[in-house]
Amino acid sequence: MGRAVVRRHGRMSDGELGDAVERARDGDEAAFAAVYREVHPRLVGYLYGLVGDDADDVTSEAWHDIVRDLHRFRGDGEAFRGWAATVARHRALDHLRRIKVRPRTTALDEITAEPATPGDSEGLALENISTEQALALIGELPQEQAEAVLLRVVLGLNAPMAARVLGKRPGAVRTAAHRGLKRLSERIGTQPGQFGPGRQDRQTGGGHGGQGGPDGRGGQGDVDG
Amino acid sequence: MNESRERGALLAADDAERLLSGQAPGGADDELAGLVRLLVAAGEPLPCRAEDELAVLDAFRQVSAAGRPGDARRRGAAPLLAPQRSRRQVKALVGGVAAAFTLSGVAIAAQTGALPHPFHSGGTPHRRPAPPVTVSDTAPGANRPAGTAGPAAGSPAGRNPAAPTHPAHPTHPVTGSHADTDNHGLCESYTQAAKQGHQASVSIRLRLSQAAGGEAKVDSYCAAVIGAGTPTNGAGPKPKSTPTSTPTTTPSPSGSPSPAATTAPTPTAPTATHHTAAAHASASPSPSTSPAASSTGPHRH
């Protein structure tokens, strides 16, 4: 059984992925398929944190951009992950602009709806947390923090590459990621009953969340230019 | 747990950085357990839509057909539509049909339990709930060797489907604790990745270092778990996962792939030195090696 697990969990090395990308660039479809299967699930996860249930559609759009521009890409596996994330991010931000408002996920509702057993209710809820719920929780952070966390944890990018995707300085992205974790820790570390306030807090601090669109685009300038 | 203190205040910067790169701080289980669990869950690959893959592969074929190197790749232009139906396209079409059959075949196999369900992750609930198939990760030999470029063979079985999470492996003949059973596959992934000179995913490393009680203990923990899971018997930390391996090769827990590990005789590592332009792209934000910039600009403005 082990192999299947390895395949599912393991991550292609940068070298492997870079090699596959290069072959894909030369028209090798099998290599491209390997690249897709390696990167796509992580891209979907990243975008799920940004656009919720539309992630599949938006990621799909992004792949068409990737296919179109692949011949111009140069770099190894990590660089490809970063590039793919950048392309997907553009698509996601476009999407968010189109729909004008960040989706309200229900992750927190679902989690807090778990029956509360004194003592370990939080543990129970988190024990069964689904990937979608986890991503949605992260996605409810201020966008800057959410993206920093998602790029590191979901896409597995290193800090400098995450910074490049976001078009920001590595230090700023590191700080954002740390703040994001801190905030997550505060919210899940307290009793379930405190999810509510935590969320309100975020909404009243909506300046954060609202900065998503414009601020995100601003950040893009660095990547684009 | 019932105190209303804010634990976030206790999250030190280096703990945060460790978490972000997939290590669970060893002694901080109580403080960070929830956060670790959240990040592990977030790091699981999501199941993906097969039709999306087919569509993208189709687009890839069209682009390839239209933009062969000889035909002068058109910069900026989006050659998504091929001008004429070339032989190549016809071949591609045939390939697509074959792929579709392969897909359905795999789906059937998965339904019948011959393969891990391709669109269902073991334990975690997902958006597209799969039929209640018990994931039967049959014999080690049943799946292709982990090293091969698995998915490239055209079978979607190797794709992401996430997560051998906790309750996923009923067929493990492990006599140890439930947790060890769960972590058996993770350990195999971990050691396998180490042998191939790279790291297991963040999700794996987080879980294992938590289970082992610290990053530094993961090696010995996994050696024990894998040893216990050996079908023949539970004697000693013997590697079960791959024929060519010793699970104790340096797993380079947090840092970059250790050169030592890349010497492992894996079939797919050949390109370890193949990082052409890049390696640097990841390290340096220098504009000269910025594929992201050059590649995304044109169609985005």
Q: What local confidence, expressed as pLDDT, does residue A92 receive? A: 94
Q: What local confidence, expressed as pLDDT, does residue B23 receive? A: 75
Q: Are residues B26 and B121 in the same domain?
A: no
The yes or no reply on domain A107-224 and CATH 3.40.640.10 is no
- Of residues B88 and A88, the one with the higher pLDDT is A88
Comparing A2-99 with A107-224, is the CATH topology the same? no
Q: Are residues B129 and B60 in the same domain?
A: yes
B200 close contact with A: CB closer than 8 A: yes
Q: Are residues B53 and B131 in the same domain?
A: yes
Distance between CA atoms of residues A180 and A182, nearest Å: 5
Contact B68 A27 (CB under 8 A): yes
Work out the pLDDT band at A13, boundaries 50, 70, 90: confident
Contact B278 A42 (CB under 8 A): no
Distance between CA atoms of residues B285 and B297, nearest Å: 16
Q: What local confidence, expressed as pLDDT, does residue B28 receive? A: 53
Nearest to A224 among B143, B188, B293 (CB): B293
Average pLDDT score over chain A: 75
- Of residues A116 and A73, the one with the higher pLDDT is A73
B238 close contact with A: CB closer than 8 A: no
Boundary (domain end) residue, out of B162, B177, B201: B162
pLDDT higher than 70, residue B177: no
Is B4 a domain residue?
A: no
Q: What local confidence, expressed as pLDDT, does residue A35 receive? A: 96
% pLDDT > 70, chain A:
68
**Residue numbers of the domain that contains B255:** 14-44+165-267
% pLDDT > 90, chain A:
56
In chain B, the number of structural domains is: 2
Contact A133 B185 (CB under 8 A): no
Locate the chain A residue with the closest alpha carbon to B18. Answer: A178
Give CATH for domain A2-99: 1.10.1740.10
Work out the pLDDT band at A151, boundaries 50, 70, 90: very high
Q: How far is A31 from chain B (nearest CA, A)?
A: 6
Boundary (domain end) residue, out of B132, B162, B192: B162
Q: What local confidence, expressed as pLDDT, does residue B162 receive? A: 37
Q: Are residues B131 and B226 in the same domain?
A: no
Q: Are residues B70 and B25 in the same domain?
A: no
Q: Are residues B144 and B211 in the same domain?
A: no
Contact A177 B48 (CB under 8 A): no
Contact B64 A78 (CB under 8 A): no
Q: Where are the domains of chain A?
A: 2-99, 107-224
| Tens digit of each residue's pLDDT (9 = 90 or more) over A79-127 | 999 999 999 999 999 998 888 755 544 444 444 433 333 333 344 467 7
| Tens digit of each residue's pLDDT (9 = 90 or more) over B263-300 | 333 333 333 333 333 333 333 333 333 344 333 333 33
Distance between CA atoms of residues B100 and A214, nearest Å: 42
Distance between CA atoms of residues B195 and B87, nearest Å: 42
pLDDT higher than 60, residue B43: yes
Contact A129 B38 (CB under 8 A): yes
Report how far Cα B160 is from the mean position of its chain's Cα atoms. Answer: 6
Locate the chain A residue with the closest alpha carbon to B57. Answer: A33
B78 close contact with A: CB closer than 8 A: yes
Is B108 a domain residue?
A: yes
Boundary (domain end) residue, out of B111, B136, B162: B162
Helix axes A131-139, A29-51, angle to 10 degrees: 60
Q: What local confidence, expressed as pLDDT, does residue B92 receive? A: 52
Locate the chain B residue with the closest alpha carbon to A175. Answer: B13
* Lowest-confidence pick of A93-107, A135-149, A185-199, B62-76: A185-199
Q: What is the DSSP letter of A154?
A: I
Hey, which of A39-43, B149-153, B270-274 has the most confident mean pLDDT? A39-43
Q: Are residues B35 and B132 in the same domain?
A: no
Nearest to B8 among A8, A24, A182 (CB): A182
Distance between CA atoms of residues A74 and B278, nearest Å: 7
Q: Hey, is B46 helix, strand or coil?
A: coil
With a CB cutoff of 8 Å and minimum separation 6, the contacts of A154 are: A42, A45, A46, A49, A135, B42, B43
Distance between CA atoms of residues B221 and B211, nearest Å: 8
Nearest to B57 among A33, A181, A189 (CB): A33
